[in-house]
Amino acid sequence: MFKGSIPAVITPFDGNDVDYDSLGKVLKYLIDNGSNGLVPCGTTGESPTLSHDEHKKIIEETIRIADKKIPVIAGTGSNNTLEAIEYTKHAEKSGADAALIVTPYYNKPTQSGLYEHFKKISDETNIPIIIYNIPGRSIVDMSIDTMIELSKVKNIIGVKDATNDLFRPLLTRKKMQNNFCYLSGEDGTALAYLAQGGSGCISVTANVAPKLCSEMHSAWQKGNIIKSQEINLKLSSLHEALFIESSPGPVKYAASLLGLCNENTRLPLSEIKENTKKVVKRCLQELNLL
């Protein structure tokens, strides 16, 4: 079962190309600073703008660099079921430990459509699958009842919950019949999510403050609630700053200040505003990261 601080890894760009050298630097930084897993090609990795070849190579590189030190949960979702199957098969063949599959965006499937989408991917693969429920970006919200039905499918083992609804994990756990992995997708409420039965967080902030994020989860797991709360309070301003504008714009700027990569995003994301940059830089300085 996956737990702890799991960065949703940014994808560095050099002009219009993926910067694989900087990707390696980012991954090494995350591994060396105590991250408990890696998620390449998720929302924070700007997956909608990646070509098929780029998507697959980034996952392959992440698996190679992680070298089984920590798990790799490959982002393999799509609003095209056949494409999601292709990406998931590739991740499985490449040696990923699990696949993170987002609810299909733009199409607006019904609950029945959501169930059939994930069931079809499961039927075609054997890799553990984590449902990524993020209604704020995909416009569809998987219901608790649909998730419970999917949990009965052979290799669907957990959820990345980016609803920011802290009652939901309790309601789901109360009805769930089997062991299921609950991962938060919201940095600002990650600690509260742990208190509701979660096991970790797939995190944006952990791209630039991996050690602090990891230490917070470690303290919680060891029962040191006060320490985890203290770290969470320290991180709160950075959590907020990284979402002043559309992610991953602010976190990529933060990474550029740390010398990990440049701040480039791919259109339709554009350069963040100067005022946002000032806030992000100030937060890094307050945490002694700069």
203 within 8 A of 3, measured Cβ to Cβ: no
Kindly state the average pLDDT of the residues 272-281. 98
pTM for the predicted model, two decimal places: 0.96
pLDDT, tens digit (0-9, with 9 covering 90-100), for 79-98: 999 999 999 999 999 999 99
> Which pLDDT score is estimated for 164?
94
Kindly state the average pLDDT of the residues 114-138. 97
Residue 105 annotated as catalytic: no
Kindly state the average pLDDT of the residues 121-139. 96
> Which pLDDT score is estimated for 162?
97
Q: What six digits make up the tokens of 283?
A: 């937060």
Q: Which of 29, 115, 132, 182 is catalytic?
A: 132
**SS3 call for 16:** coil
Contacts of 71 (CB under 8 A, 6+ apart): 2, 36, 37, 38, 97, 98
Q: Which of 3, 56, 160, 277 is catalytic?
A: 160
pLDDT, tens digit (0-9, with 9 covering 90-100), for 218-241: 999 999 999 999 999 999 999 999
State how far the Cα of 47 lies from the Cα of 104, in Å rounded to an integer.
Answer: 13
Ordered structural domains, the chain, with CATH: 4-222 (3.20.20.70)
State how far the Cα of 38 lies from the Cα of 24, in Å rounded to an integer.
Answer: 12
> In Å, what is the CA distance from 4 to each residue of 48, 115, 116?
26, 28, 30
Confidence of residue 178 (pLDDT cuts 50, 70, 90): confident
Residue 20 annotated as catalytic: no
> Which pLDDT score is estimated for 177?
72
Kindly state the average pLDDT of the residues 262-281. 97
Nearest by Cα to 88 from 114, 42, 37, 127: 127
